[in-house]
Structure 1
Amino acid sequence: MGIADWIRIARGNLTPEELAEREDAARARRLRVAAKTEAERRDIRASNQAHARLKAAAAIGSVTLVCHADTLSFLGTRLYGKEGWPDHHELARRTQERPDNMRHVRLSGQQVVTILNLTARLAGIWKYPFYVHDTERAIGSRIYEIVGTVVDTVNPDAPAGNPVPPIIVDDRAAPTADELPE
């Protein structure tokens, strides 16, 4: 492009092709800005929901967590030493072993808040200062969804002493017809 083209463009004397090219570029910029804005809105909504869940969980007196021993180990190793999380001996006193290597653990609302806080960070809802491996992100996301769903059912206006449904981290495939007992 020479100096004559620069002058022509500066005066606004554009060819139809140049006008179409500029309009396409402007449209692409608007779409990028709109997509970024929508993603930011989604992040804000998720963050607000997470904060509301923390507040609701803090009011829980006690709840039972039902999960596999490996899931409890996943949580325990990441939460050990964190404010509100019981030490290994206290956690063992609160835990009942069940068949299939399942564990039933009595937790307080403070411990549910601690779990939600960790799993929200692993899930990417809140920025985490460290790299999160895909495996941790997947496990953290699923635990966050399950715990959050139970916390969402808590009614702050319900009378004291109403039971909170158990938090069950155990998605199993439905048995096929040939696996059902006869």
Structure 2
Amino acid sequence: MTSPTIRPATRADAPAVAGIYNPYIEQTTISFEEVPVTADDMARRIDDVNNAGLPWLVLEADGRVRGYAYATKWRVRPAYRHSVETSVYLEGGAQGQGWGGALYRALIELLRAKGIHLAIGGIALPNERSVALHEAVGFAKAAHFSEVGFKRNRWIDVGYWQLKL
């Protein structure tokens, strides 16, 4: 196994990123999306993040994309411009190798360099792995919404973790 590298995402990464993300849509309540995304959808999302001046990173190991992390605007109103929502996804079986933490630390570093004040991570609960990842890189729980989403025939809570940069 080669050492992982982290780099900015490009449109060419969209098929791999969609391939990582779609099982979360189809098989879990981690994502609140319900319809798988196409590579074209994902390419547009990568472009939107890049055009907003925010980072989208991919982690490569063994010659392929194994995970990704990105930040989006928290809300559209101007006073929120110093806050972002963050996301990290790894392909199935890639957890437990420290790659999520590596992606998150790289993302946080870029956000700090851009002068972002607050990073917010939303987590569909329960999700012990995601909670542990967020807390390992310094996030603290800030909010808990009960039964805010409905997917796979059940109500789902969402917690928000925040990190002041």
TM class by shorter chain equals under 0.3
Bigger helix fraction: 1
Higher strand share: 2
| Higher relative contact order, structure no. (Cα contacts within 8 Å, ≥ 6 residues apart) | 1
Rg (Cα) greater in structure: 1
User: Under a length normalisation based on structure 1, what TM-score does the superposition of the two structures give?
Assistant: 0.25
Q: TM-score if structure 2 supplies the norm length?
A: 0.27
